[in-house]
């Protein structure tokens, strides 16, 4: 039981580190003008933002898109989504490695 808790804690730590590092990397790529790289690095935000399209406050000829509070909530939700995804992958990998070592 203790080893399972240890695996869970390790996987959670890996999820936190990866989510944080990729979010910072995406921010830096965005600041450098590499929009596509930033979107790929922080894919949870890209995925959730696609579910909440921005509102056009401009004209059809010259659109100007503005985010809503839902876009901000999608941004906040992207952190737990990334953490969960990376933690699950890390847990599966660590558990598989632990089985092969014993």
Q: What pTM does this model have?
A: 0.84
| Residue 100: per-residue pLDDT | 82
Q: State the pLDDT at residue 99.
A: 83
pLDDT at 38: 96
CA distances from 74 to 35, 45, 51 (A): 18, 7, 9
Those residues of the chain that have pLDDT short of 50 are: none
Where exactly are the structural domains of the chain? 2-101
Place of tokens 């941004």: 75
Contact 38, 23 (CB under 8 A): no
């Amino acid at each position: 039981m203790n080893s399972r808790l240890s695996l869970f804690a390790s996987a959670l730590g890996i999820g936190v580190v990866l989510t944080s590092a990729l979010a910072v990397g995406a921010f830096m790529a965005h600041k450098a003008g590499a929009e596509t790289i930033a979107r790929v690095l922080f894919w949870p935000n890209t995925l959730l933002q696609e579910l909440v399209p921005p509102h056009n406050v401009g004209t059809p000829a010259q659109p100007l898109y503005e985010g809503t509070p839902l876009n901000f909530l999608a941004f906040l939700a992207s952190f737990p989504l990334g953490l969960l995804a990376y933690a699950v992958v890390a847990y599966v990998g660590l558990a598989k490695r632990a089985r092969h070592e014993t």
